[in-house]
Every structure is written in structure tokens, then in C-alpha cells.
Amino acid sequence: MGNSKGADGAADHRPAVGRVAVVGTGLIGTSIALALRARGVEVLLSDPDAASVRLACDLGAGRVLDESAQTRPVDIAVIAAPPAVIPAVLRGAQDRGLAHVYTDVASVKASVLAEAERLGCDMATFVPGHPMGGREKHGPGAARADLFLGRSWALCPTGKAGAETVAAVAELARLCGADPLVLEAEAHDRAVALVSHAPHVASSAVAARLLSGDDTALTLAGQGVRDVTRVAGGDPAMWTEILTHNAVPVADVLHGMAADLAATADALHALARARDGAGDEVLEPVRDLLARGRSGQERLPGKHGGVKLPDYAVLPVVIPDEPGVLGRMFAVAADAGVNIEDVRIEHTPGLPLGVAQLYVLPAAVDPLARALSDDGWSVHAGA
């Protein structure tokens, strides 16, 4: 059970996941519900906030869970509540016999597990889970059926749940388009501290500095600082709770980052003080951090959590800012038999022109450039 294989079971013996209850219709719960509905699963929804359930239902995520009318347990109940209340919600659902199997979606696992044990939850039917998808937005209105597509979905069974039980939750993850990955709760928490929680705090630390700049300084901001600080736009209250539940692993990573930043700052100050007199070795901590940073960045798997996408070539095309222009451009591509895999449009405020970046397979660049040029488009090949 040390890797994702353990959750697979035999390929010809997949557990049936026909009816699922989603308890908590926020972003994650509603996204799971939408994904399951798209695969034909019957989904029952509940949330302490009645408006949230109504919105989720209206979005096609399922229908309201009416426990008084339930005659038999659902296959799986997904507890999609904040980490602090998951153990109590789980215990209540188990006491009522809501489901055969239970899972949750908390982004921290060890503290939730410990509290669930303390509350006397039945650990034989509970498989803690954490789907690795999210957005800065929250609530059912931000939910998307494809939120977990190609993402990892961590499962942290305690050993008290049988293989069939774990396999059922793995199948639920797979129905949402995710790759189930079995690991220990403590290993999970250290991993997410490293790849999610501590990077979030670092993003906040960069963004917090921006408060000290004047408007002119901020006008010089480019795409780099926007990317670095994007996640800092997340909800402070929600993130405070997440960090609280994973305090030590996050703190350990943050101490390492703080030490690296302080050492770099000290080296730069030393360089400035000793200018002319300073030997090259003063800069060693700076060089070292930048080199380690590049090596670390290269360790990240491909864009979609482990799924390596083909390398697309990019063809920039100048486009006028008017209705129908993209349709005409794509029609030329279709006539040339070229599939456009992705497109990014660069806005050009104040200018009547924009640039569309067309992503295509490398072999399709030349035919597409020729077809568009012949049709009178301003194509910027070679970029």
C-alpha cells in the first residue's frame, strides 16, 4: 500500500460507485459532485447553508439529501467540510449510517485523523482523501467538473480500512478524472507543506512587501511578480486554518526559506559595503540559492500533475479587435487541417490590434503559417 498500485485492485473488478452523498457544497464538494454527475453517478447534496445547496443543485451537481427519506446507505459519503469540523461531521454521518464508505477532502490529514480517532469515528469505513485541485475563488458558483482532471488525489488509509474500502474511494477519485495516490498521512502533510502550504506563505510574504511601494513602482510590475503572488489572493481565514492544522511541517519549510532569504540579503549587503574590495566569494550564497532554485523548479512534474503534455509550438498572429475575427482565423486553420491546441490572446489596451498566440503541434506551424499568410493574416513565425 506504499504507492498508487495498492489502490488499483484488479482491473476487471472495479468497485461500483453508483450513489454518493456530498456533505458540504463549497468549491471542492460541488466540483466533485459535478464530476460524478458527468459520469452518471447519483449525487445527494447537503450543507448547513441551504442557499449553497440550492445553488449546487441548480448547477446540476445533484439533488438535496433528505436523510429521512433514505432507506439504504449510499456507496460513499464525501465529507467536504473545513478541516476543523470534518471529524465531528464524519462521526455524525457514521452514527446515522449515511454510507458504506466515508472519505474527506481536507488538505491536511494527520490532525484530522487524530481528531477522528479521538471522537471515536469508525476508522474501518473511513479513507481520508485530498484531491489536489483548487482555485482562488470559492463557493459552489466557482465549482467546475474538470477541477481534478489529471490531478493527483491523495488517499491516506490508516490500515484499519480493508482493500475493498480503499478501492471504492480510489474509484471515486478516478471517476473525477484524478489519479489516486496512496501515502501515509504524515508523508502527505510534509509533502503539501512543501508544495502548497509554505509556497502560499512565501507568496503572501512577497505580496505583503508591495504595500510599501508607490503607484509608480507598481506600474513597473510584470508577469513574474503576478505569477509569484497569484495564490496570495486566497482567503486569509481559510489559509490560516489550513496552516494551523499543518503547523510543524509548514514551519520547518518556512524556516528554511527565511534562512535562504536572510543569507542572500546579508551577502548583498556585504557586497555593497565592501564594493571594490569584495571578493567574488561574498556572492556565493546568492549564486547557490539561484542555482538550487532552478534545480528545484526543474523537479516539478509536467503542467498537469504528472501528465506530460507534448511541447507545442507557438505561432503569433496579429488580430484586429472585432467580433468574428477569431472565428475567421480558426476557420482558416480548420481548412488547412490544423488543430489549434490552445490559444492565448494578448490584450493591447488602447490599440485596435491584438496578438493571438496559437499553440499547435510543431509539424503544424509551417502549414498553418502559410495558410494564414495566404489568407491575408499578419503571421509572426519564428517567435
Q: Which residues have a Cβ under 8 Å from the Cβ of 315 and sit 6 or more positions away? A: 357, 358, 360, 365, 368, 369, 372, 379, 380, 381, 383
State which of positions 25-84 bind a copy of itself (CB under 8 A). Answer: 34, 55, 58-60
Q: Residue 172 CB, nearest distance to a copy of itself (Å)?
A: 17
Binding piece for a copy of itself, criterion CB under 8 A, among 40-48, 97-105, 164-172, 283-291: 283-291
Nearer to a copy of itself, 123 or 271 (CB): 271
Q: Is 123 in the site for a copy of itself (CB under 8 A)?
A: no
Task: Out of 51, 124, 163, 206, name the contact with a copy of itself by CB under 8 A.
Answer: 206
Task: Out of 39, 160, 344, 370, name the contact with a copy of itself by CB under 8 A.
Answer: 344
Task: Out of 18, 97, 120, 296, name the contact with a copy of itself by CB under 8 A.
Answer: 296
- Report the candidate in 49, 4, 8 with the shortest Cα–Cα distance to residue 26: 49
Binding mask 170-199 for a copy of itself (x = CB under 8 A): -------x---x-x---xx-xxx-xxx-xx
Separation CA 252–CA 259 (nearest Å): 11
**Helix, strand or coil for residue 183?**
coil
| Contact status, residue 289 vs residue 260, Cβ threshold 8 Å | yes
The grid cell for 210 is 508591495
574590495: which residue's cell?
A: 277
Task: Out of 279, 349, 352, 376, name the contact with a copy of itself by CB under 8 A.
Answer: 349
Nearer to a copy of itself, 80 or 132 (CB): 132
Strand partners, 78: 22, 103
Separation CA 274–CA 283 (nearest Å): 12
Task: Out of 84, 123, 343, 361, name the contact with a copy of itself by CB under 8 A.
Answer: 343
Count the site residues for a copy of itself by CB under 8 A: 146
| Contact status, residue 135 vs residue 27, Cβ threshold 8 Å | yes
State which of positions 305-334 bind a copy of itself (CB under 8 A). Answer: 305-307, 309, 316, 321-324, 326-327, 329-331, 333-334
Separation CA 365–CA 360 (nearest Å): 7
Q: Is 379 in the site for a copy of itself (CB under 8 A)?
A: no
DSSP state string for 66-101: -GGG--S-EEEEEE-S-TTTHHHHHHHHHHHT-EEE
Q: Residue 196 CB, nearest distance to a copy of itself (Å)?
A: 6
Binding piece for a copy of itself, criterion CB under 8 A, among 17-25, 67-75, 157-165, 228-236: 228-236
Nearer to a copy of itself, 265 or 363 (CB): 265
Q: Is 279 in the site for a copy of itself (CB under 8 A)?
A: no
State which of positions 1-20 bind a copy of itself (CB under 8 A). Answer: 3
Enclosing H/E stretch for 343: strand 342-346
Task: Out of 50, 51, 119, 217, name the contact with a copy of itself by CB under 8 A.
Answer: 217
Q: Is 218 in the site for a copy of itself (CB under 8 A)?
A: yes
Enclosing H/E stretch for 320: strand 313-320
Q: Residue 122 CB, nearest distance to a copy of itself (Å)?
A: 25
Binding piece for a copy of itself, criterion CB under 8 A, among 12-20, 46-54, 79-87, 345-353: 345-353
* Dihedral over alpha carbons 33, 186, 111, 83 (to 10 degrees): -20
Q: Is 210 in the site for a copy of itself (CB under 8 A)?
A: yes
Say what angle helices 50-58 and 27-38 make with each other, to 10 degrees.
30
The grid cell for 154 is 491523495
